[in-house]
Amino acid sequence: MTKRGIVAEDLYELKSVKNPVLSPDGSRFIFIETEIDKEKHEYNSHLFVADVEGKHVSQWTFGDVKDGSASWSPDGKSILFTSNRSGKSQLHMLNTDGGEAKQLTYCKHGARNPIWSPDGTKILFETSLSPEENVTDKEEQKEKDKLLEPMVVERVRYKSDAVGFLDDKNQHLAILTLATGEIEQLTEGDRDYTAGFWSPDGEKISLSVDLSDEPDYNLTNDVYIMSVKTKELTKLTKSNGSFGNPTWSPDGGYIALIGHEKEYEGATLSKLWLYNVQLAELTCLTAEWDVQIGDVAIGDFHSGNTNPGAIWTSDSKGFYFLMSDLGNTGVYYGSVEGEMYPALLENQHVYGLAVDPNTHKAIVGISTPTHPGDLFSVDLTNGDIKQITFVNDEFLTGIELAKAEAITFKAPDGWDIHGWIMKPFGFVEGKKYPTIIEVHGGPHAMYANTYFHEFQTLTAQGYVVVFTNPRGSHGYGQTFVDAVRGDYGGKDYIDVMTATEYAVKTFDFVDETKLGITGGSYGGFMTNWAVSHTNIFKAAVTQRSISNWLSFYGVSDIGYFFTDWEMKGDLINNTEKLWKHSPIAYVDKIETPLLILHGEKDYRCPIEQAEQLFVALKMQKKPTKFVRFPESNHELSRSGNPKLRIDRINHIKGWFVEYLG
């Protein structure tokens, strides 16, 4: 059978499977499968149920809907999930013996993140409420038509890339009693609460929230225990960092947390913490372990994965969790004494995890550069693994995906830099190929051994793709991830250029006369910086980029603190420094043909960053083009409109074809 390389439009054919949840008896699991409606250019997500042996996999929900957040009742007889089938996300329930799904909530602004009580009689969930609203207000209540009114802004944090301009609503917690349908509101006020878990006796819940006097400036997040009966709060953390994912041990003696104390601001490694409930003591279990807890792999295919936090074993002596290291994410076991052991750590991206607390058998989602992602059954005690889902096998039968070969090289100051190189489709020994350098966003993220649709479409077009983790990236320790702060365009730029030089000198198939560079967000900043400081690249594509730190400070939803954290300067006291690190300050030096891609509703790196760059280049009559994506925020490449995601990749490919051949 003759195979072909993948194209951008193949995104319509690929399915993703994620968020596995095991049944109480460990014999079955639920997962979410997402596909794209090619006619409507919309995502549909449905519930599937499979046995852990992989012999029976069946679809349980259908239609043009987005179903998610599925979980089993403690007795295994019902499945709770969220669905937008009524128009907005509400809680629904299915009987495992069959029948139609029953809608449980009719909250005015929807319901999210449902969590069963230990006895299965109540459900904790999140909803949004304005100060004058009550959790029992129904979605059917139509608001009166309102005349246009000016928006009055008094807080520095007034917009968000995720939701746009913020209104007066906050995220609150409520409890639904299944027998009566009664809903009790647990929290109120001008704060956003995130649900944790129920205590084993069902009398308390864990939650996270910032209750400081000035949350817009404090930028911390604390974990609390709340008494369900009295609403009394007990604080576990010290308002000196960012903490979340509080999970209770089965015996109620401990709560495991993930977080950090902001020692390096946003570049601080997340750690595992243990709270002793009886002693009211919080201890960091991984203080001496130089790794990032959780999955921080970056890609353009998997989106909306649930962070499982620490998953306790039934004996309350330990737990399993995800960690990121050296371009991989894996599963580790940790004990309450602080011992850590690898349970599943290979050259791959583990993006989902569910563990049977009694048998230590797990369902994991795994992706590699040549495997978009499937669910596997794993015995975490011995590593035995078996693939259960095969959602893309039939389609990929006729596709040849490029492998990613790991590379490591030395920066001029002796630091080890790690990355990968991918050969083009139809590779022929002795032939030279145009080569594209990819730079990830963040910068505190990590390229990994995972599927990347953009990379595969470029290799299919005949390009070599080089992607690395320069300093500032996660996966290589605290010193490495912190090294970029205050030095954007410094040694991080040297790392990117050293990667380019290494590829040219090491691989005879790299055509040094046809080099391109691209990246998004911080990667867009680095693309702008590179072409304003060297002419080695013959084509470049900057995506959702930063070009001017001075304006970014005031227009980005995070600019007022991110600039201070990352650039170690602000608009008021460090104007000269911000301008010095702004690529647009060197726009007169840009000779490389530059394609500028940006979302119209990107509030993280607002489109004015692209507008400034484009106009400055056009006024110099430099080769450039500006593509604006309507109704698109910073997540365009990962979870944006499917058609626009495809258009984006085709614009990237087309630009490189025009200027690199």
305 has a pLDDT exceeding 90: no
Token pair for 446? 């990590």
- Residues 188 and 173 sit within 8 Å (Cβ to Cβ): no
Average pLDDT over residues 106-124: 97
Q: What pLDDT is stored for residue 307 in this prediction?
A: 87
Average pLDDT over residues 109-127: 97
225 has a pLDDT exceeding 80: yes
Right CATH number for 402-660 from 3.20.20.70, 2.80.10.50, 3.40.50.450, 3.40.50.1820? 3.40.50.1820
Chain centroid to Cα 616, Å, comes to 33
Average pLDDT over residues 316-342: 97
Each residue's pLDDT tens digit, 380-400: 999 999 999 999 999 999 999
pLDDT tier at 200, thresholds 50, 70, 90: very high
Average pLDDT over residues 21-42: 96
Each residue's pLDDT tens digit, 497-535: 999 999 999 999 999 999 999 999 999 999 999 999 999
Q: How big is the chain, counted in residues?
A: 661
C-alpha to C-alpha distance for 44 and 627, rounded to whole angstroms: 27
Q: What pLDDT is stored for residue 379 in this prediction?
A: 97
pLDDT tier at 32, thresholds 50, 70, 90: very high
Instruction: Measure the CA angle with vertex 68, ends 391 and 188; round to 5°.
Output: 160
User: For the chain, how far is it from start to end, CA to CA, in angstroms?
Assistant: 28
141 has a pLDDT exceeding 80: no
Nearest residue to 350 via CA among 395, 380, 314: 380
For the chain, give the percent of residues with pLDDT over 70: 99
Q: What pLDDT is stored for residue 142 in this prediction?
A: 52
Q: What pLDDT is stored for residue 55 in this prediction?
A: 86
C-alpha to C-alpha distance for 379 and 151, rounded to whole angstroms: 55
Identify the H or E element spanning 71. Answer: strand 67-72
Each residue's pLDDT tens digit, 558-609: 999 999 999 999 999 999 999 999 999 999 999 999 999 999 999 999 999 9
For the chain, give the percent of residues with pLDDT over 90: 95
C-alpha to C-alpha distance for 226 and 204, rounded to whole angstroms: 5
Query: Could you give the residue numbers annotated as active site?
Result: 521, 634
Token pair for 499? 């990667």
110: left (phi over 0), alpha (psi -120 to 50) or beta: left
Contacts of 307 (CB under 8 A, 6+ apart): 245, 258, 294, 295, 322
Q: Is the peptide bond before 443 cis (omega within 30 degrees of 0)?
A: yes
Per-residue exposure over 502-511, b if at least 16 CB sit within 10 Å of its own CB, e if not: bbbeebebbb
Each residue's pLDDT tens digit, 274-304: 999 999 999 999 999 999 999 999 999 988 7
Range in 306-310, 332-336, 407-411, 474-478 with the lowest mean pLDDT: 306-310
Each residue's pLDDT tens digit, 145-172: 678 899 999 999 999 999 999 999 999 9
Contacts of 42 (CB under 8 A, 6+ apart): 36, 64, 642
Q: What pLDDT is stored for residue 1 in this prediction?
A: 76
Domain locations along the chain? 402-660
Q: What pLDDT is stored for residue 99 in this prediction?
A: 87
Q: What is the pairing mode between strands 433-439 and 464-469? A: parallel
pLDDT tier at 138, thresholds 50, 70, 90: confident
Nearest residue to 265 via CA among 215, 310, 218, 223: 218
Range in 150-159, 303-312, 472-481 with the lowest mean pLDDT: 303-312
3-state secondary structure of 531: helix
Token pair for 407? 């590379």
Q: What pLDDT is stored for residue 302 in this prediction?
A: 84
C-alpha to C-alpha distance for 480 and 269, rounded to whole angstroms: 11
The average confidence (pLDDT) of the chain is 96
Q: What pLDDT is stored for residue 232 in this prediction?
A: 97
144 has a pLDDT exceeding 60: no
Each residue's pLDDT tens digit, 248-280: 999 999 999 999 999 999 999 999 999 999 999
